[in-house]
Amino acid sequence: MNRQESQHFLRSFRLLRGRDFRRVLTEGHRQGTAHLVVHLLVQDLPHSRLGVTLPRRIGSAVARNRVRRHLRELFRRQLRVVLGAPCADIVVRAESGAASASQAVLAAELLHAVDTWLRRGRPVRGQRRRSEG
């Protein structure tokens, strides 16, 4: 890994399009924690991607950006290695209290959600967890 990759959250590791977010939210596995809701969906890509959503009720723009930076950094440093292959798209939605939670707490919650998903056998691509209704 060169210095460029190790110091930046590259664009190729981000979920950028609204339709990609919606697909992960509707088709992916959902795992909730105290401060986060994590949606994961297996994809046929060379690497995993991350999308972060933060509602305004989380706090000021400064607080939301701090949480976003913490989550991206965790993904860049640890989560990509934990996931391995097959790769997944991940959408993390912060809940109330996320801005006041420490970086360690957010990291533990995100890693726990992904670990739970891995132990359940990784739902196959396109498999719905919830029934239509």
**CATH number of the domain within which 13 lies:** 3.30.230.10
Range of the domain at 112: 3-119
pTM: 0.79
Number of domains in the chain: 1
Q: Range with the lowest mean pLDDT among 1-10, 43-52, 90-99?
A: 1-10
Residue pLDDT, tens place only, 39-78: 998 888 878 889 999 999 988 999 999 999 999 888 888 7
Residue 133 lies in a domain: no
Residue 47 lies in a domain: yes
Please name the helix (run of DSSP H) or strand (run of DSSP E) that holds residue 89, with its range, or none: strand 88-94
Cross-sheet strand order for the sheet of 88-94: 29-32, 36-42, 88-94, 49-53
Q: What gap in Å lies between CA 23 and CA 48, rounded to an integer?
A: 15
Q: What is the pLDDT of residue 86?
A: 65
Residue 124 lies in a domain: no
Q: What gap in Å lies between CA 96 and CA 35, rounded to an integer?
A: 7
Residue 82 lies in a domain: yes
Residue 101 lies in a domain: yes
